[in-house]
């Protein structure tokens, strides 16, 4: 019997993996429904209503300004003018131009696929990465904890082959979940844009950009699953991966961020892992240091900037996977199995 097919069936039959996958899909469905019900399609009626509201706001402002001007003239005539309230000349109190009240400010929220969908690829990648990390950790951690790994090695004594086959089955299962979920994510928000927004200006370049971002999200999920699997195998327990993740996020990220901020380190976010995950998805993250303000010839204050690119993030991800997975393989080969 094929070890690979056996591990795939073992992964599919794990109740924890099924329930966690279902929970992740329900969260994604909730996001889709939330966007659908909080947006609406802009039609001629909505634009007319927005125009009326803009005109109403303008007329209210005109009436208020006129009342202020009359109050200013009365105060000047009575000699009780408050210099902190009124200008030197009451004629300076004039209403803003009609153009200052734009109808688009009063339009209801509408989902623009080209403008808004890119940001919604981030929660998809985050949910898939979380599911991959936890399922990957539990998949091998439970084998060590229950003694299943020792029994399996009696049947298949090649340690590294067994571990890597388990990892291959895990990544295959994650791809079987992530690829359809990503396709449904694209399709769901395309329907949302059709019925609750706009699909205008979608060019081939825009589709290519979204597709590459979705692909990077899949890679991030696979990396997270590999890290969870490797950490649990290294510690021979699911808690090793989950505890390590909590320690990194709470102590290594929040604690380090607070420490670097207190120490006045420039671009403290450049030392935090979420910055690189975000840069991987968005292709670039620009950090700003407002304490090092650069004055321009026009008197404008521009902060010092630092760009974190997806290429830098890819190096960090590759090094992290190589080191942690390599350590897990080395421990599997060298340590006693008991």
Residue whose pair of structure tokens reads 């292709």 in the numeric block: 283
pLDDT of residue 148: 65
pLDDT of residue 287: 86
pLDDT: which is higher, 133 or 258: 133
DSSP code of residue 267: T
Report the relative pairing of strands 301-309 and 284-295 from DSSP bridges: antiparallel
pLDDT tier, 301 (very low <50, low <70, confident <90, very high otherwise): confident
Per-domain residue ranges of the chain: 3-40+110-334, 44-106
pLDDT at 144 over 60: yes
pLDDT tens string 232-277:
888 776 666 676 666 666 666 666 667 777 777 777 788 888 889 9
Across the range 310-337, mean pLDDT stands at 86
For residue 52 the two structure tokens come to 């009326």
Is residue 338 within 8 Å of 150, Cβ to Cβ?
yes
What value does the CA radius of gyration of the chain take, rounded to a whole number of Å? 29
CA-CA distance, 224 to 229, in Å (whole number)? 9
pLDDT: which is higher, 295 or 115: 115
pLDDT of residue 252: 63
Across the range 84-96, mean pLDDT stands at 76
Across the range 127-146, mean pLDDT stands at 85
Contacts of 225 (CB under 8 A, 6+ apart): 129, 132, 133, 135, 136, 170, 171, 174
Across the range 166-190, mean pLDDT stands at 95
pLDDT: which is higher, 49 or 264: 49
pLDDT tens string 179-199:
999 999 999 999 999 999 899
pLDDT of residue 163: 86
pLDDT of residue 1: 57
pLDDT: which is higher, 114 or 235: 114
Q: Which residues of 282-306 are buried (b: 16+ CB within 10 A; e: fewer)?
A: beebebeeeeeeeeeeeeeeeeeee
Across the range 105-129, mean pLDDT stands at 91
CA-CA distance, 61 to 110, in Å (whole number)? 27
pLDDT: which is higher, 106 or 203: 203
Quote the mean pLDDT of the chain. Answer: 84
pLDDT tens string 209-226:
999 999 999 999 999 999
Residue 82: other Cβ atoms inside 10 A: 9
């Amino acid at each position: 019997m094929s070890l690979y097919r056996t591990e795939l069936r073992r992964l599919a039959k794990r109740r924890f993996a099924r329930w966690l996958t279902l929970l992740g899909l329900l969260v994604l469905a909730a996001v889709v429904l939330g966007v659908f019900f909080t947006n609406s399609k802009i039609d001629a009626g909505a634009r007319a209503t927005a125009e009326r509201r803009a005109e109403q706001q303008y007329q209210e402002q005109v009436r208020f300004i006129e009342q202020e001007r009359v109050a200013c003239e009365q105060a000047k005539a009575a000699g009780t003018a408050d210099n902190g309230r009124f200008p030197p000349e009451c004629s300076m109190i004039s209403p803003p131009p009609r153009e200052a009240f734009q109808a688009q400010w009063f339009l209801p929220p509408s989902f623009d696929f080209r403008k808004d969908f890119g940001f919604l690829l981030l929660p998809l990648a985050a949910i898939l990465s979380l599911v991959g990390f936890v399922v990957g950790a539990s998949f091998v951690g439970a084998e060590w904890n229950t003694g299943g790994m020792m029994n399996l090695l009696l049947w298949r004594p090649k340690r590294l082959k067994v571990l890597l086959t388990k990892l291959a089955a895990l990544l295959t299962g994650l791809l079987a979940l992530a690829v359809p979920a990503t396709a449904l994510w694209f399709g769901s928000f395309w329907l949302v844009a059709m019925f609750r927004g706009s699909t205008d200006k979608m060019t081939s370049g825009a589709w290519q950009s979204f597709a590459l971002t979705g692909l990077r999200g899949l890679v991030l999920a696979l990396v997270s699953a590999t890290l969870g699997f490797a950490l649990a195998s290294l510690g021979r327990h699911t808690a090793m991966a989950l505890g390590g993740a909590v320690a990194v996020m709470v102590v290594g990220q929040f604690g380090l961020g607070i420490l670097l901020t207190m120490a006045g380190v420039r671009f403290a976010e450049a030392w935090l892992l979420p910055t690189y995950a975000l840069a991987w998805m968005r292709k670039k993250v620009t950090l700003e240091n407002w304490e090092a303000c650069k004055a321009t010839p026009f008197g404008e204050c521009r902060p010092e900037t630092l760009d974190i690119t997806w290429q830098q993030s890819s190096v960090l991800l590759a090094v992290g996977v190589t080191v942690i997975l390599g350590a897990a393989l080395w421990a599997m080969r060298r340590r006693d199995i008991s």
